[in-house]
A = this chain, B = another copy of it.
Amino acid sequence: MNSLQKKILSEGKVLPGNILKVDGFLNHQIDIALLKDMGKDFYELFKDKNITKILTIEASGIAIACYTAEYFNVPVVFAKKGQHKNVGKDVFTAEVFSFTKGTSYEVAVSQLYLKPDDRVLIIDDFLANGQAVLGLQKIIEDAGATLCGAGIAITKAFQSGEQLLIDAGIDVKSLAAIESMENGTVVFRD
């Protein structure tokens, strides 16, 4: 069991509606020692892929992406949500549909920071419906760069997103793939 899985069992909270709250260590308050372990775990999963850049989406992906990038010794780029006036005019964009909110939002990455020779690892905190990663995949393709994989902290394996990404040809790996959260008990896959 890795550090994230241990933390989820000891401090995560399961709320009605299959909601897993990790606000105490990942999404609102951040435990830096945990992030370092997660970065190292992601590095072990993708270290053979010659990654040149880590791509994530603001806001809660940023910290995880940074500590992962540190092990790869590459920069992070975070896609900006919504209004991206200050990203500049030359941007790659994608629409991301949020099932939670029932609406779409746009994500944007400046063309300055994704190039055709980039080998990109996507890092994100949660995978449920997979729409955010598919949006980032489109942006990477538009840049002519290579998507080498998606490292997800917590995957709700009982939802459709993971299979959707696999079907889209993405090498998805999760630190904590949750099979079920019945009666408030988190069960990991494997």
Q: Find chain B residues with CB under 8 A from A35 CB.
A: 66
A63 to B62, CA, bound (A): 7
Q: How large is the interface on A (under 10, 10 to 19, 20 to 34, 35 or more residues)?
A: 20 to 34
Q: Find chain B residues with CB under 8 A from A58 CB.
A: 58-60
Q: Find chain B residues with CB under 8 A from A119 CB.
A: none
**Other 9 A-B pairs with CB < 8 A, given A28-B109, A29-B76, A58-B59:** A24-B113, A29-B113, A30-B66, A32-B73, A32-B75, A32-B76, A36-B70, A59-B59, A59-B78
Contact surface of A with B, Cβ cutoff 8 Å: 23-24, 28-32, 35-36, 58-60, 62-63, 66-67, 69-70, 73, 75-78, 80, 87-88, 109-110, 112-113
The 27 listed contacts between A and B (C-beta, < 8 Å) are A23-B87, A23-B112, A24-B112, A24-B113, A28-B78, A28-B80, A28-B110, A28-B113, A29-B75, A29-B76, A29-B110, A29-B112, A30-B69, A30-B75, A30-B78, A32-B70, A32-B76, A36-B70, A58-B58, A58-B60, A59-B59, A59-B62, A59-B78, A62-B62, A63-B66, A63-B76, A66-B66
